[in-house]
Amino acid sequence: MTLITAPIREVSDPVPSSEELVARLRALHPLLKKNSAQGEHDRRVVEESIVALSDAGAFKVAQPKRLGGYGMSMKAMLDVSSAVAEADGGSGWVVALTNVCAWLTALYPERAQNEVWGDNVDVRVSGVLAPTATSVKADGGQRITGKWFWNSGSFHSDWAVLGFPVMDEAGNQIDQGLALIPRSELGFEDTWFVAGMRSSGSNALIADDVFVPDYRILSVPAAIGGTYPTENTEEELYQAAFVPVLALVLAGPQLGLGRAALQIVREKAATKSIAYTMFTKQEDSTAFQLQLAEAAMLIDTAELHAYRAAADIDSATAAGIYPDLLARARVRADTGWSVDHIQKAIQVLLSAHGASSFADSNPMQRIWRDSGVAARHAVVLPIVGYEVYGKALLGRGDQITPLI
């Protein structure tokens, strides 16, 4: 097959270090915090925040360097989304999901990648792995009809990667695929009415008999096993383990939310009393000090496990090794462990901070709701990750999911 290469726009933005990029994003904290309540009301990140994040390079972490991105690492994906979530959980979630969908896009053949970024390096991609669609084999591709819910960042995306069953001419399913489709060919339904992560804009995208050529279809089972159609095999990031990346990226916003909650409670401790006690300042209470230390240690534990998993992914990729099932299962367990401990830390901090945590004007209640909703994402559920890892440790063949 002849590859059609689109012209690539010259890019003046040099690739920053992870530390430089995080510093840029932390400089945006006042703006992101200012817009957080409005984003929750609108059920999407405020456009001013999206523009500022885009200008800072927040969406380029996993986009290939040759197509205007930074092509960084799994660790950098955690660094960036957690830094954004320190200011606003919904913005951090959109950054995390947009970056991982850029990573998915870079696994496709170069022809597909060029269609996405060849004319505009600022294009963003959203996605849903679940195959909630039907398809019919067509000449040179598939015709797809379906609806994909919980498509985070859908208000701000230009393309989407969407799960579907791949069919043969006889109408039999022969594979599960991810279709790369322009947003201009997809319908949209406003369905995101939830208790937390409201500003993530995780609405539904709709396909009605959309033709997708074969080169814009990625085989999910092949990808789980480490086989990707990209020709650019020298680019380390795009040889990383499929499910570990998709799972661990969801822990990044949680880390930022945990840090944000801890910072709020620490800052208020010198001026906030403990009602119906003699303490005019929380910081004078030994009980409060113990709660604060416990929460900080829970957050540290979450970070240690998340960054251990990131190191496992990045080091294996650098060595040209695709992790075995046991190593991949441990990443799922690490992800669940991290999310679980952030949840526990936030619960401790809510109790330490007091009932005012739940005032509409207090960002603690938004952190609590955002973290709680994000923690229920099916790919990060702790109990599922632990069972996956336990079965892998025992060498059992009765795994509960192919997503390892």
Residues whose CB is less than 8 angstroms from the CB of residue 268 and which lie 6 or more positions away in sequence, other chains included: 282, 353
Residue-wise burial string across 167-203, b where 16 or more C-beta atoms lie within 10 A, e elsewhere:
beeeeeeeebbbbbbebeebeeeeebeeebbbbbbbb
Q: Residues 6 or more apart from 131 whose CB is under 8 A from it?
A: 163, 164, 165, 176, 177
The CA dihedral of 141, 147, 151, 155, to the nearest 10 degrees, is 90
Task: Give the CATH superfamily of 18-117.
Answer: Acyl-CoA dehydrogenase/oxidase, N-terminal domain (1.10.540.10)
Mean pLDDT score, 137-150: 97
Q: What is the pLDDT of residue 80?
A: 98
CATH architecture for segment(s) 125-219: Beta Barrel (2.40)
Q: Indicate where the chain has its CATH 2.40.110.10 domain(s).
A: 125-219
Average pLDDT in the chain:
95
Structure tokens at 39: 């984003």
Helix/strand/coil for 308 = helix
Length of the chain: 404
Quick one: average pLDDT of 307-332? 98
Neighbouring C-alpha atoms within 13 Å toward the C-beta of 213: 8
Q: What is the distance between the terminal CA atoms of the chain, rounded to a whole angstrom?
A: 32
Over residues 1-46, the pLDDT tens digits come to 233 333 333 445 689 999 999 999 999 999 999 999 999 999 999 9
* Comma-separated ranges of CATH 1.20.140.10 domains in the chain: 240-393
CATH superfamily of 240-393: Butyryl-CoA Dehydrogenase, subunit A, domain 3 (1.20.140.10)
Cα 26–Cα 81–Cα 150 angle in degrees, nearest 5: 135
Q: How far apart are CA 184 and CA 159, in angstroms?
A: 8
Give pLDDT, residue 202.
95
- Mean pLDDT to the nearest integer, 371-390: 97
Q: Kind of pairing, strands 173-182 and 217-219?
A: antiparallel
pTM for the model stands at 0.94
pLDDT for the residue 12: 52
| pLDDT of 2 | 30
Which pLDDT tens digit goes with each residue over 159-171? 999 999 999 999 9
pLDDT tens readout for residues 60-107? 999 999 999 999 999 999 999 999 999 999 999 999 999 999 999 999
Please determine, for residue 356, whether its predicted confidence score (pLDDT) is greater than 80.
Answer: yes
Q: What is the predicted pLDDT for the residue at 4? A: 32
Percentage of the residues of the chain whose pLDDT score is greater than 90: 96
In whole angstroms, give the CA distance from residue 193 to residue 356. Answer: 25
Measured CA to CA, the distance from residue 380 to residue 348 in angstroms comes to 21
User: Are 157 and 183 spatial neighbours (Cβ–Cβ below 8 Å)?
Assistant: yes
